[in-house]
Structure 1
Amino acid sequence: MHDMMTQAAGRTGALAAGMRDDQLGLPTPCSEFDVRALINHLEWVADLFASLAGKGPMVQQREYAGDFPERARRMLAAWEPPEAWEGESPAMGLPMRTVATMALFDLVVHGWDLARATGAPFDAEPETVKALLGFAEHMAPMGRQQGIFADQVTVGRDATDLDRLLALTGRDPEWAPGR
């Protein structure tokens, strides 16, 4: 799982680091976020999951800093020790492996969001997508109840696993700016 997190953080970090100032106001598939707000959310995600890896508290979101790749590196370092994966998160009341999967989920899905918003290519490793697809199938009802996921989008029988994952979250895999 740590290898999956590392690959996803690297991919999403490269997208975030490559943003030009004129792209920060672009819309994203997350209707509540433009690119700047989505990167700011990812910065918080990295800080949050770094804290949780150390069995620490939930952390507050801060102002956009534009340093997501560095925060992601700190998050990955926090998940390196074996004890990070043991037991339950005091802050969330969930098994640590579930908490780590939530971090991976955000890295992949929001990486796709950034790529879509800016027209950049995006791909995720098939084993990562399969793991997240099972996780999303299990978590989708609760995610919808909490307003984290929108209603599932219908995709065709020939949809890729990534398209199915995105559809479970309420994202249209065909989303494009202005569409």
Structure 2
Amino acid sequence: MEDMMPLMTRATDRTARLVRAVRQEQLGFSTPCAKFDVKDLINHLEWVAEMFESFGRKGPRVEQGPYAGDFPERAEDTLAAWSRPESWEGTSPAMGLPMTALAHMYLVDMVVHGWDLARATGQEYEPDPEAVSRALHFTDQMVEMGRQRGVFGPPVAVPDDAPQFDRLLGVIGRDPAWTV
């Protein structure tokens, strides 16, 4: 917990800042995540925050609701749930995975979807290098399961000497060179 909470917090804060800066006219813009436009991506982030708050309290998987425009507030609730030491103990009743694995899943979502949103809306985005390193290490271990569950797309080739963040994007099926 001690090493993950700061990473989760910084990644969440970066993504929340990006969400707050989205203008109404940008909601229909395409994103690097092919199944989402900007509004759908923010709605997905709202659901991720709500779901991982539930997981942090050992609760059930929740269904995605309609777009509400309240991701930053939901994300604060998520971080509050995970700030409790008992959140990190054992496995998730809803997912059957270690709680630390779920925390890493949340981190990957915040880091990658922050980039998706920044690219789609022309905002600057510099992910935390330590968060990227942790997300890449975790994703390398879980990528096949993620692809089987439809969470990750086919890999995008990036050079072996590419920056870690580009390698993370490529592993999960994003093209680091994507532009609007």
User: Shared topology, TM-score over 0.5?
Assistant: yes
Give the match for residue 129 of structure 1.
132
> Which runs of at least 4 in structure 1 moved beyond 4 Å after TM superposition?
none
Give the match for residue 89 of structure 1.
92
Cα deviation code 1:63-89 (max 9, x no counterpart): 101110000000000001100000000
Residues 124-133 or 19-28, more deviating: 124-133
Shift of 1:158: 3.3
Given the alignment, which residue of 121, 138, 161 partners 1:158?
161
Give the match for residue 14 of structure 1.
17
**Runs of 5+ in structure 1 lacking a partner?**
none
Matched, 1:117 2:126: no
Q: Which amino acid aligns with 2:10?
A: Q
Distance between the aligned counterparts of 2:117 and 2:14, measured in 1?
11
Count of residues in correspondence between the two structures: 177
Shift of 1:5: 0.6
Give the match for residue 26 of structure 2.
23
Give the match for residue 38 of structure 2.
35
Structure 1 length normalisation: TM-score?
Answer: 0.97
Shift of 1:52: 0.3
**Runs of 5+ in structure 2 lacking a partner?**
none
Given the alignment, which residue of 66, 70, 75 partners 2:73?
70
Q: Which amino acid aligns with 2:141?
A: H
Distance between the aligned counterparts of 2:24 and 2:129, measured in 1?
32
How much identity, in percent, do the aligned residues show?
56
Shift of 1:60: 1.1
Distance between the aligned counterparts of 1:145 and 1:50, measured in 2?
25
Distance between the aligned counterparts of 2:35 and 2:77, measured in 1?
27
Matched, 1:54 2:57: yes
RMSD: 0.7
Residues 152-161 or 3-12, more deviating: 152-161
